[in-house]
């Protein structure tokens, strides 16, 4: 079965330090991977995606993610965290078992807390 796992419920980091939010996936075939962020009482905002090509993907607000096929991981990173980055982060994979579909399978989410 296809799945996404975010092993940490919460990540705490000091402002200015680098941050990593972890994600591993299990899919059949080539994965299409996405990161989204959710602020309180808001919908999900798209950060970045991996389709093919370079393993390091750059996205919005200074975020980037590293795709590692051998480890089936797609960790989200940022060199220097901001307090305003504090939010709920979701990793997602496109369902490749349902034919031509946009259906996303989400991880359970990781709360990022950046302290001043």
**Site residues, another protein (CB under 8 A):** 32, 34, 36, 41-46, 49, 51, 90, 94-96, 98, 100-109
Query: Looking at beta carbons only, is 14 or 51 nearer to another protein?
Result: 51
Shortest Cβ distance from residue 18 to another protein (Å)?
25
Burial degree of 106 (CB within 10 A; 0-12, 13-18, 19+)? middle
Q: Beta strand pairing status for 110-115 and 10-14?
A: parallel
Shortest Cβ distance from residue 62 to another protein (Å)?
18
Query: Looking at beta carbons only, is 84 or 98 nearer to another protein?
Result: 98
3-state class (DSSP) for residue 34: strand
Query: Looking at beta carbons only, is 41 or 116 nearer to another protein?
Result: 41
Query: Looking at beta carbons only, is 53 or 116 nearer to another protein?
Result: 53
Shortest Cβ distance from residue 53 to another protein (Å)?
11
Using only C-alpha atoms, the chain has a radius of gyration, in whole angstroms, of 14
**Which neighbouring-strand residues pair with 37?**
45, 89
3-state class (DSSP) for residue 62: helix
């Amino acid at each position: 079965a296809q799945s996404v796992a975010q092993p940490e419920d919460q990540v705490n980091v000091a402002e200015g330090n680098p941050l990593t939010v972890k994600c591993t996936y299990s899919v059949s075939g080539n994965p299409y991977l996405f990161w989204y962020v959710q602020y309180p009482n808001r919908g999900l905002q798209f950060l970045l995606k991996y389709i093919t090509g370079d393993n390091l993907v750059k996205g919005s607000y200074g975020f980037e993610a590293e795709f590692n096929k051998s480890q089936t991981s797609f960790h989200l990173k940022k060199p220097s965290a901001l307090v305003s980055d504090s939010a709920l982060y979701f990793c997602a994979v496109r369902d490749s078992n349902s034919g031509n579909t946009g259906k996303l399978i989400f991880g359970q989410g990781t709360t990022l807390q950046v302290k001043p």
